[in-house]
């Protein structure tokens, strides 16, 4: 059907009291950014509802994008009609017919803002219900928990019909829970951690460590595509690309093999914390899960956290791999994450890394490298890209490779 608008209902915002206006304003901004590629939309964030006027735009892709915006409890595609009751009857019947399957029940739920309209609420319910019963054999009325609820709103500027309620992503609008840096690799875990952080309203800067020639342009493009996948939950995301080759080569050359990973992770966290501080972020998110790999024991985490006083948040810390994969599949990052492009976390991995590194030994081994100089060189080489939903960096890179063949 050709819908006129999509009516969005707020989630946890209803509990926010005096801050409600700020939350609604932020949600409106996020929806606008998330729907940036659809020309002609009008988005109005009001006290009780957010309205997306479609103005002829196909509703299906807009609905898919709205499903992923945090702060939305649910929403309904709506048809706006003039105050012609015969047209209302015909449209109501068409909407119910499109959803009806044998054995289904329905009810009419009318709200009337325009009290000068020719019929009152009960009359509208009776007339529309009777019209549907006469024209759809087998359908029945059920007042509690029907299969289909046709909502009718008689407003001053027209009559609005809707018959579907589509679940939203819930959570809080991204940007209302503060701002942090997310250490994102090309793997399964970090996009899921980013998703969970954003669901609580945290705006994330994605920090990615890139080590050419050991990691490829396709590995970088893959991580940008993962960022684009989860950008729909926020509208857009800043992607901070950090050159890390020299840091890794130096550590490999000067640090004992068992402590390579620990020192490398300390440098990554130290650099990320510096980026976060410069960008006004209040914490660092990671995709670590306790006990999943050698660098994710409590001893390793303590040795790595030693480099910063900034909060380090780990949304996946108590999850097992099956739980993480389930969420990755749900948010459509899993298939992209398992593409076989190495990231900097997997290169130079020693055969027997320390799973319980000693903190004092770690600090002493780190003195073998020029921490401040390497860190500053990496910070001087960062590049920042704004990534929006729907952008595809791997396809762009394939075109570049094709030209070189």
Tokens 């926020």 identify what position? Answer: 234
The annotation status of 296 as a binding-site residue, yes or no, is: yes
Query: Any binding-site annotation on 116?
Result: no
Write the CA distances from 231 to 41, 51, 83, 107, 335, integer angstroms: 19, 21, 40, 38, 17
Q: Give the integer Cα–Cα distance in Å for 297 and 314.
A: 13
Task: Give the start-end residues of each E strand in 231-390.
Answer: 237-243, 284-285, 312-313, 383-387
Helix (H) or strand (E) holding 51: strand 50-53
Q: Is 209 annotated as a binding residue?
A: yes
Tell me if 184 is assigned to a ligand binding site. Answer: yes
User: Which string of DSSP letters, residue by residue, matches 183-232?
Assistant: E--SSSHHHHHHHHHHHBT-EEEEEEEE-TTTS-HHHHHHHHHHHHHHHT
- In 10 A of CB 60, how many CB atoms? 9
| 331 marked among binding-site residues | no
Q: Which two tokens stand for residue 127?
A: 């007339």
Spatial separation of the C-alpha atoms in residues 338 and 332, rounded to whole Å: 12
CA-CA distance, 91 to 98, in Å (whole number)? 11
SS3 71: coil
Query: What does the alpha-carbon distance between residue 113 and residue 48 come to, in Å, rounded to a whole number?
Result: 14
Residue 397 marked as a ligand binder: no
Binding residues for ATP: 183-184, 208-209, 265, 287, 296
Known binding site: residues? 183-184, 208-209, 265, 287, 296
């Amino acid at each position: 059907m050709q819908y006129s608008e999509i009516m969005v209902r707020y989630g946890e915002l209803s509990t926010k009291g005096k801050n409600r206006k700020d939350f609604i304003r932020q949600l409106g901004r996020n929806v606008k950014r998330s729907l940036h590629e659809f020309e002609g939309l009008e988005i109005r964030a009001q006290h009780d509802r957010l309205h997306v006027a479609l103005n002829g735009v196909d509703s299906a892709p807009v609905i898919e994008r709205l499903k992923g915006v945090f702060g939305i409890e649910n929403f309904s595609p709506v048809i706006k009609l003039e105050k012609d009751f015969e047209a209302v009857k015909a449209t109501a019947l068409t909407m119910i017919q499109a959803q009806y399957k044998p054995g289904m029940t329905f009810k009419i739920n009318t709200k009337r803002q325009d009290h000068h309209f020719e019929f009152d609420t009960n009359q509208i319910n009776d007339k529309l219900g009777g019209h549907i019963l006469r024209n759809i054999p087998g359908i029945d009325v059920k007042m509690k928990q029907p299969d289909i609820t046709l909502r009718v709103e008689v407003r001053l500027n027209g009559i609005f019909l809707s018959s579907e309620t589509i679940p939203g992503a819930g959570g809080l609008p991204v940007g209302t829970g503060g701002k942090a840096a997310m250490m994102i690799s090309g793997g399964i875990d970090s996009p899921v951690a980013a998703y969970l952080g954003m669901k609580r309203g945290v705006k994330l800067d994605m920090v990615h460590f890139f080590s050419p020639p050991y990691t490829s342009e396709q590995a970088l493009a893959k991580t940008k595509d993962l960022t684009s996948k989860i950008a729909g939950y926020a509208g857009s995301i800043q992607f901070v690309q950090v050159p890390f080759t020299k840091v890794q080569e130096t550590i490999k050359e000067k640090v004992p093999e068992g402590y390579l990973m620990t020192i490398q992770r300390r440098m990554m966290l130290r650099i990320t914390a510096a980026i976060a501080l410069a960008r006004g972020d209040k914490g660092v998110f990671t995709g670590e899960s306790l006990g999943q790999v050698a660098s994710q024991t409590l001893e390793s985490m303590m040795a790595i956290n030693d480099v910063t006083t900034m909060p380090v948040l780990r949304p996946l810390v108590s999850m097992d791999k099956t739980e993480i994969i389930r969420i990755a599949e749900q948010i459509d990052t899993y298939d992209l994450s398992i593409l076989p492009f190495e990231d900097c976390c997997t290169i130079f991995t020693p055969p027997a890394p320390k799973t319980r590194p000693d903190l004092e030994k770690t600090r002493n081994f780190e003195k073998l490298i020029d921490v401040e100089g390497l860190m500053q060189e990496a910070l001087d080489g960062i590049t920042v890209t704004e990534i929006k939903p729907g952008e595809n960096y791997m396809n762009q890179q394939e075109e570049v490779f094709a030209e070189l063949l």
